[in-house]
Amino acid sequence: MPSLADPGALSAAEELAQFRATVLSRGRELYRDLPWRRTRDPYAIWISEVMLQQTQVARVDGRWQHWLELFPTVDALAAAGSADVLDEWQGLGYNRRALSLWRAAQEVSATGGHMPSDEAALRSLPGVGPATAAGIRAFAFDLPGVYLETNVRAVLLHELFPKEDAVSDASLVPIVRATCPKDAGNPEDDPRTWYYALLDYGAHLKATVLNPSRRSRSHARQSRFEGSHRQKRAEVLRILLAHRADPRGGVDLDTLSVELSRREVAAGRSEVDVSDAQALLAELSREGFCHNNGNIWCA
């Protein structure tokens, strides 16, 4: 941001007012009519927020609708089996998110089935961090909050920190808090509209200029998935889910090990031995993704 010691510089208040006007204008121009923007159901919005974490909009469009067909309410999600939830999540990455959604739904269902609007109550739920809580509050309840995610960072860095690198979130949070409208009195400039504008302008910037969010200190390249431990965990879970219809309800260790090795070799990677497969199963079991029923592993 320009130095206020420069006599020609805008005051901080003037600069933020100019910034807000720019964002709202670009937001109107670039608005994306996405399916989850046509609802104010906090449960449906919560699902979209979690699905959109590090996942492209095009991949979520369609999956979000199908999820709501299978689990239309928080109570329906809570009543579902974890394997059904994980099966539906396949292809969206980070299976922990699906398990957290399911566990959080059970907590909400146990207290009446209504998603809270209070920030502290939202953040107490499994898997709900500051950005997810702020997104639910803004898009479902039109309440202010600090919604700081990658597209929002891109706009802030592009407009207010054009020449700075390694900008910390600590520098951005006060700006996000100061620029978010405090109430929903003006439908053209309320928390919901404001954050949609930031998201759409940010998506545009990331598609048309060198991604400004790379200059954020919090920016980190996603680690390679193929061949990683995370990839093998995901493959084991897919095998377990594929064996749900087996008469035994699951798969024995030796069969799973052979299938996992076959898939790894087909992808040009090394074989996996039984001890490796057993270690992966034990790890997944500790986290609640699967369980052992005698000698049969089940999702």
Q: What is the pLDDT of residue 183?
A: 84
Distance CA 221, CA 236 (A): 25
Q: What is the pLDDT of residue 3?
A: 40
The whole domain housing 247 covers: 229-298
Q: What is the pLDDT of residue 5?
A: 37
Q: What is the pLDDT of residue 17?
A: 94
CA-to-CA dists, residue 168 to 4, 12, 149, 155, 165, angstroms: 20, 19, 13, 14, 9
**Contact partners, residue 161, CB within 8 Å, separation at least 6:** 1, 167, 171, 215
| Residue 226 a catalytic site member | no
In eight-state DSSP terms, residue 217 is: T
CATH number at residue 253: 1.10.10.10
- Are 152 and 266 within one domain? no
Q: Which of 169, 190, 222 is the last residue of a domain?
A: 222
Q: Which of 195, 222, 249 is the last residue of a domain?
A: 222
- Are 152 and 268 within one domain? no
Q: Strand 296-298 vs strand 291-293: parallel, antiparallel, or unpaired?
A: antiparallel
Q: Which of 222, 238, 270 is the last residue of a domain?
A: 222
Catalytic residue among 49, 119, 159, 259: 49
Beta carbons of 262 and 215 less than 8 angstroms apart = no
Q: Walk along the chain (299 residues) and give the pLDDT tens digit of each residue.
A: 444 334 455 688 899 999 999 999 999 999 999 999 999 999 999 999 999 998 999 999 999 999 999 999 999 999 999 999 999 999 999 999 999 999 999 999 999 999 999 999 999 999 999 999 999 999 999 999 999 999 999 999 999 999 888 889 999 999 999 999 998 889 999 999 999 999 999 999 999 988 787 777 676 555 566 778 999 999 999 999 999 999 999 999 999 999 999 999 999 999 999 999 999 999 999 999 999 999 999 99
Q: What is the pLDDT of residue 221?
A: 57
- Are 44 and 89 within one domain? yes
